[in-house]
Amino acid sequence: MVDISIAEASVEQILASQRGLIAIGAGLAVGLSGIASGIAEKDIGAAAVGAMAEREELFGKGLILTVIPETIVIFGLVVAILLLFL
């Protein structure tokens, strides 16, 4: 049997009761994407420094490849903002 109180609840009432879970999801989106970016940047940075030690002209490519994982954090931040404000 369907609970009448849930059937009559509006979308705003349901979202108000789920605010804590939305906040946890937003925190996980930013936190886990930051951890993953840090792990990826660690490996890429070590390889880029090693390559630049051998050939200095690889500095530009190494810098670009080191910055690429930062976009993952930006995506996580966008997801968190969408969760919190939409």
Per-residue pLDDT tens digits for 4-39: 566 666 777 777 778 889 999 999 999 999 999 999
In a domain, residue 10? The reply is no
Rounded to whole angstroms, the Cα distance separating 50 from 32 reads 28
Task: Band the pLDDT of 3: cuts 50, 70, 90.
Answer: low
Residue 19 lies inside a defined structural domain of this protein: no
The answer to the question of residue 31 being in a domain is yes
Please indicate, yes or no, if residue 52 is contained in any of the structural domains: yes
* Integer Cα distance of 42 and 49 in angstroms: 11
Amino acid at 15: L
CATH number of the domain residue 29 falls in: 1.20.20.10
Domain that holds residue 33: 24-85
Is the residue at 3 inside a domain?
no
Number of domains in the chain: 1
